[in-house]
A and B are shown apart, each in its own frame.
Chain A
Amino acid sequence: MNNSDNSNRHMISILMENEAGALSRVANLFSARGYNIESLTVAPTDDPTLSRLTLVTSGNEQIIEQIVKQLNKLIDVVKLIDLSETDSIERELMLVKTKAVGEQRAEMMRLSEIFGGHILDVTESTYTIELTGPGGKLDNFLNAVEKDAILEVVRSGATGIARGQKALHV
């Protein structure tokens, strides 16, 4: 994810029926209409009949308007919000496995602390670090780590919620 693209980066959060095929309908819509999809996360909510799906996409104003309309048109979509249009909180979870040998061990631990990470697993030659934050912060961490030191990166994709009293519910 590149920061310069953020001007047209949109995070759309969807409440949809927790039905077989609902996720495919959303994914299908993006591929069929040629829309960009950067990340997608989905899980049931406190109401087991509903799922919450958060996706990050990009495009100009007209494309985003169409994406929102096309999503709303899906029968399984109950409600949605473009979190980029409102004051919102974005979080993503990342697990990073790094080399940790010799001087690297102290360096990696220090870097993890700076970024508010937790070291979940330690071996004699590796650390597994958990980090959460907006996508940009996770990018920054990866940029700060020496390239060769990174063994594996797992990112959950962004999810988010609006600030204040605004809530997306049925």
Chain B
Amino acid sequence: MEPITGAEILVRCLHEEGVDCMFGYPGGAVLHIYDALYAQEKIKHVLVRHEQAAVHAAEGYARASGKTGVVLVTSGPGVTNAVTGIADAYMDSIPLVIFSGQVPTALIGNDAFQEVDAVGITRPCVKHNFLVRDIKNLAETVKKAFYIASTGRPGPVLIDLPKDITIGKAEFHYPKKIKLRSYNPTIKGHAGQIRKAVDLVMSAKKPMIYTGGGVILSDGSTELVELTQLLGYPITHTLMGLGAYPATDRQFIGMLGMHGTYEANMAMHHCDVLIAIGARFDDRVTGKIEKFCPEAKIVHIDIDPSSISKNVQVDIPIVGSVPNVLRAMISVIRDEKLKPDTKALEHWWRQIDEWRAIKSLSYRQSDEVIKPQYVIEKLYQVTEGKAIITSDVGQHQMWAAQYYHFDRPRQWINSGGLGTMGFGLPAAMGAKLAFPDQDVACVTGDGSIQMMLQELSTMKQYYTPVKIVNLNNGYLGMVRQWQEFFYQKRYSMTYMEALPIFVMLAEAYGHVGMRIEKPGDVEGALREAFAMKDRTVFLDFITDQSENVFPMIPSGGGQNEMLLAERDEMVSTHEEGMVLV
């Protein structure tokens, strides 16, 4: 076999992994790799305008498709710019492989031009990382990276590539399989634990199913739907879990947590058996930990042992992959013809329906000013609930999660764990590249959109027609809301003066811009925008500046201490809650 350059080896590895799309930005240390990419046609490389966007776009691509996202950046600022995206992927367990250029091996440690300790800087926010020191290890390292990124609890893996490694030559051998003695995720759940879990689940009088992003990541939605319907139990999702169970089904009682529905949080608080699946008991979900599910015995299914009993002590832990464990539970229930306690369940549902009747997501409609919730409701109607929705971070994110009813997994793409403003637009671009035939909308706000605005240019170059739904209230709305509630309306640095004319800005980038100021024009504008299949449309909705996200569990509150829009306009919080964010 003829020796080929490290850069060529890398490209061959990507071909072997079936990579068809990657995101990146060239620079000195990766010139050889870009030269090798130039010589091939299998992989479409998307040239972003900022490395952070490369990672978010790869995340959008990975979150929508389930495939591993691939990023290529240069050394120094290339990799530091990518760090926010990498941390975002780490928090939400998104499979990515990031290649960063590095100065030549001989210069490492010399403070060379555009040198940064990429492996050191990214260590706390990657699942694993590598520095390739010998070209002979290059192909195997790439194989390991893809394997680690996509198996177990997925996550980002970075490979740092000194320039001399990409220039040197070696024979290319791609290992078919890889086995790591130190990494072997548990897939199959422990039979004894499954048995115990089934017994507890069947004995429940007031059961609750609570699921998170793990169900989406593991493609466990089919099994989740089957089990939930077999049991007839109520189900709630975390922000990351939306779409795993159809939101339009009666058994789904809405998202839980800080801005979840009243019925979901009340049911959590009062349940006697909690079945937690692929969720990690995040502080946004639990509220005050001492008040979390006080009456419940807890079953927790997760592929990551360190997620179990981290924040909340559980009674029956099951380590394993979600679909695998759920299938095992379903077969026990079916084989033994186990039946839930119908009478208790009827009683429980009656209680839940009472909570539901409070209609915690109701809001006051206006004829004068556009209510942001109304925009999302109309977006849902106009797209018939079928679009892929990406979101930025803030109030608009919560409204999108609350008012767009996601019926399928991988339809809702947002930055849950890290809460990265600027995520939405590049993520929409990535999702559109994964599914060119589907409608993709990015729900954003005037704050978030300006953090990644430059990607409008990338979207023009690579033809990714998405619809940008900008809920423009002139404020950093979520921070403003907290200042209103907890800082006596001292709006410190949350008013966005001198916003650009977004319509002109969109046009400057070659897209369509629309400004909508009247509630009566919302639906028409959305219909017009989605009719333009081949254009990116920036819809600038001028919305009510004072609207707040309700319901809400203030920091330090328990799940049964929700504030409702109509009832509790004025809010105070616990002293101890103030230290929480």
Point out residues on A near B: beta carbons under 8 Å.
Answer: 16-17, 20-21, 24-25, 28, 32, 62, 65-66, 69-70, 72-73, 75-78, 170
Contacts and interface: CB of A to CB of B under 8 A. Distances in A.
B148 A72 contact: no
Contact of A76 (B182, B305, B309): B182
B180 A75 contact: yes
A167 B327 CA distance: 37
How many chain B residues sit at the interface, stated as a range, is 20 to 34
Contact of A78 (B123, B131, B181, B306): B181
A170 B310 contact: no
A69 B309 CA distance: 10
Interface of B: 119-120, 123-124, 127-129, 131, 133, 148, 180-183, 304-306, 308-310, 313
B124 A28 contact: yes
B182 A77 contact: yes
> For the complex, would chain B's binding face be called helix, strand, loop or mixed by DSSP majority?
mixed
Given A66-B310, A70-B306, A32 B182 contact: no
A114 B133 CA distance: 52
B119 A21 contact: yes
Contact of B306 (A21, A28, A66): A66
Contact of A72 (B119, B133, B305): B305
Contacts of B119: 21
A20 B180 CA distance: 17
Contacts of B148: 75
> For the complex, would chain A's binding face be called helix, strand, loop or mixed by DSSP majority?
helix
Contact of A65 (B128, B304, B309): B309
Nearest to B313: A62
A66 B310 CA distance: 7
B128 A75 contact: yes
B123 A73 contact: no
29 contacts: A16-B182, A17-B182, A20-B131, A20-B133, A21-B129, A21-B131, A24-B120, A24-B123, A25-B123, A32-B124, A62-B309, A62-B313, A65-B309, A66-B306, A69-B306, A69-B308, A70-B306, A73-B304, A73-B305, A73-B306, A75-B127, A75-B128, A75-B148, A75-B182, A75-B183, A76-B182, A78-B181, A78-B182, A170-B181
A101 B129 CA distance: 55
Contacts of A21: 119, 123, 129, 131
B149 to A, nearest CB: 11
Nearest to A72: B305
Nearest to A67: B306
Contacts of B305: 69, 72-73
